A = this chain, B = another copy of it.
Amino acid sequence: MIKEYSDLFDPSELPRRRKELHYYLAGFADGEACFSVSIKRLSTARFGWVIDPVFHITQNRQNILELFRRVIKCGRVIKKPGQPETFQFIVENRRQLVEKVIPFFERYRLLSKRKDFELFSEIVRRLERKEHWTREGFEAIVRMAFQMNSSGKQRRNRLDDILKSLRDPQRPYAGCPEEAEQA
């Protein structure tokens, strides 16, 4: 019996084996988690944009998120801004994504969000290799980000606009302003 989360759940409610609990959490994440890579406008950045990978799960029950935080051993659980009854488990730190989140889901594999996860982890790996330091590398990552989460239907900035701006950084950007910059 797993007893170390007894402040969150009655140990008799949890799966008996750690591996089973991890598969349970992988299944939960497959339905509820979001692997997101925002492309945000930032005029002081090398190419005028930053690439921002984030893993998060949004729920109105805090204890399941706290369980994630303690099993994956990183991230934080916060109240979702503007929604006081909603909580988020969020990992933004790239080192934690590389060392904790990605290995967890490589071991306990997602069935439904698998393509998003693969794009996400490939993008994070490319950032680790500093491939975004060249214009070609940056553009390739932006294109990958736009393949995620149903072809980026909800993105603020259009792929074409970002690519144009990357190729001609002197040209004033006509899209979303910097304040509301989530691409």
> Does A19 count as interface, using CB distance less than 8 angstroms?
yes
Q: Which of A90-110 contact B (CB under 8 A)?
A: 108-109
> Does A178 count as interface, using CB distance less than 8 angstroms?
no
Nearest CB of B to A159, in Å: 22
Instruction: Give Cα A14 to B108, complex, Å.
Output: 9
Instruction: Give Cα A26 to B21, complex, Å.
Output: 10
> Does A130 count as interface, using CB distance less than 8 angstroms?
no
Q: Beta-carbon contacts of A11-22 to B below 8 Å, as 1s and 0s? A: 001110001110
Known: A20-B19, A32-B32. A111 touches B67 (CB 8 A): yes
Instruction: Give Cα A52 to B112, complex, Å.
Output: 30
For A27, list chain B residues within 8 Å (CB).
23-31
Q: Which of A13, A24, A64, A112 has the most CB of B within 10 A?
A: A24
> Does A167 count as interface, using CB distance less than 8 angstroms?
no
Closest to A13 in B: B109
Which residues of A are interface residues toward B (Cβ below 8 A)? Answer: 9, 13-15, 19-21, 23-32, 59, 61, 63-64, 67, 108-109, 111-112, 114
